[in-house]
């Protein structure tokens, strides 16, 4: 299934509640919340309180949390308590990946594994039974508004081919960073089916129309190949 996830990082922070409700009204599949610790990535964003704000402003909008933390294992519980429904951790983090993915699932949440653009896709292979999705970063994590890195496309393709050869075509592959109509279609043609988009969607006067058009564009590109 093709899914579109606006990233709250690109929202107008002075009107956070309204921006969250704008995402809900857009028909997007989930709200993507980027958590940065100024250590794993060179930037600082927000913590569980903002996840709680999202749960309060738009209770039915699915909350998808991307932890860019050196020690995500220490923060599964606070984010789960705040209302996260999927928690993603980086494979490059400094913790027991196996155990942390298991803890996320034990809390009844979906688990995701994230790879930086430079990390080979094969690194994810041993964890595929412990996660519900793999996210390929298509920018260096840390900031919104960067350009999509096309060198990640073969990584997506490699994992999609592996999953198909294992008889798991429905496994979710997500991309995050620099997604717009053109790059979203490229990622979809390589095998991605979930698309995080921050600056592209938040700068649209009609977010709903843009979400629908992006979903449509990615759907067509995905089905030309898969
Ligand atoms: C980057 C974040 C992304 C970012 C995407 O570290 O993980 O989710 O907000 O923003 P755009 O779509 O503007 O590249
Ligand atoms: Zn993200």
Side-chain-facing half-sphere of 126: CA atoms under 13 Å: 5
Residue 68 has pLDDT above 90, yes or no: yes
pLDDT in tens, 182-214: 999 999 999 999 999 999 999 999 999 999 999
Model confidence, pTM: 0.98
Read off the DSSP letter of residue 44: B
- 28, 106, 65, 214: CA torsion to nearest 10: -30
Q: What sign does the CA torsion over 66, 200, 147, 133 have?
A: positive
pLDDT in tens, 149-186: 999 999 999 999 999 999 999 999 999 999 999 999 99
* CB-ligand 1 contact for 112 (6 Å cutoff): no
Kind of pairing between the strands at 133-137 and 172-176: parallel
3-state secondary structure of 34: strand
Distance 144 CA to ligand 2 centre (A): 9
pLDDT digits (tens, 9 = 90+) for 19-67: 999 999 999 999 999 999 999 999 999 999 999 999 999 999 999 999 9
Whether 225 shows a pLDDT value over 90: the answer reads no
CB 159 within 8 A of CB 193: no
Q: Which of 6, 8, 9 to mutate to test the pocket of ligand 1 (most atoms within 8 A of CB)?
A: 9
Looking at the DSSP assignment, which residues form a beta bridge with residue 135? 114, 174
Q: Is the CB of 59 under 6 A from ligand 1?
A: no
Cα of 143 to ligand 1 centre, how many Å? 6
Whole-number Å distance, alpha carbon 223 to ligand 2 midpoint, is: 25
Q: How far apart are CA 50 and CA 56, in angstroms?
A: 10
Q: Does 191 sit in the ligand 1 pocket, CB within 6 Å?
A: no
Q: Is the CB of 9 under 6 A from ligand 1?
A: yes
Q: Which ligand is the nearest neighbour of the Cα of 138? A: 1
DSSP β-bridge partners for residue 200: none
Atom of ligand 1 nearest to the CA of 41: 6
The atom of ligand 1 lying closest to the CA of 178 is 14
Q: Is 163 helix (H, G, I), strand (E, B) or coil?
A: helix
Distance of alpha carbon 126 from alpha carbon 216, whole angstroms: 33
Is residue 91 scored above 90 in pLDDT? yes
The reported pLDDT for the residue numbered 131 is: 97
Out of 196, 200, 211, give the residue to mutate to test ligand 1, the one with the largest number of ligand atoms within 8 Å of its CB: 196
Atom of ligand 1 nearest to the CA of 32: 8
Q: How many CB atoms lie within 10 A of CB 223?
A: 11
The fold adopted by the segment(s) 3-222 is TIM Barrel (3.20.20)
pLDDT at 226: 87
CB distance 184 to ligand 1 below 6 Å: no
Distances (CA, A) of 95 to 13, 75, 89, 208: 31, 11, 10, 38
CA max distance for the chain: 48
- Using CA atoms, how far apart are residues 217 and 223, in angstroms rounded to an integer? 10
Phi, psi of 124 (to 5 degrees): -80, -20
Whether residue 95 contacts residue 73, with contact meaning beta carbons closer than 8 Å, is answered with: yes
Q: Give the Cβ contact number of residue 133 at 10 Å.
A: 19
> Is 144 near ligand 1, meaning CB less than 6 Å away?
yes
């Amino acid at each position: 299934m093709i899914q579109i996830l606006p990233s709250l990082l690109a929202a107008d922070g002075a009107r956070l509640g309204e921006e969250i409700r704008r995402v809900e009204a857009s028909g997007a599949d989930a709200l993507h919340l980027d958590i940065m610790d100024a250590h794993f990535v060179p930037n600082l964003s927000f913590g569980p309180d903002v996840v709680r704000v999202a749960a309060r402003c738009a209770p039915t909008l699915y909350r998808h949390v991307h932890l860019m933390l050196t020690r995500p294992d220490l923060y599964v519980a606070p984010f789960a308590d705040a209302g996260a429904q999927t928690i993603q951790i980086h494979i490059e983090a400094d913790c027991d990946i196996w155990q942390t993915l298991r803890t996320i699932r034990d809390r009844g949440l979906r688990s995701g594994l994230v790879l930086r653009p430079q990390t080979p896709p094969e690194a994810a292979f041993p964890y595929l039974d412990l996660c519900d999705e793999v996210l390929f970063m298509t920018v260096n994590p840390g900031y919104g508004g960067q350009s999509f890195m096309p060198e990640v496309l073969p990584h997506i393709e490699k994992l999609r081919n592996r999953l198909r050869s294992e008889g798991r075509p429905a496994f979710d592959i997500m991309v995050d960073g620099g997604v717009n109509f053109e790059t979203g279609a490229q990622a979809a043609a390589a095998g991605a089916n979930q698309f995080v988009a921050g600056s592209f969607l938040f700068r649209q006067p009609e977010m709903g129309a843009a979400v629908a058009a992006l979903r449509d564009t990615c759907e067509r590109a995905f089905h030309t190949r898969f």
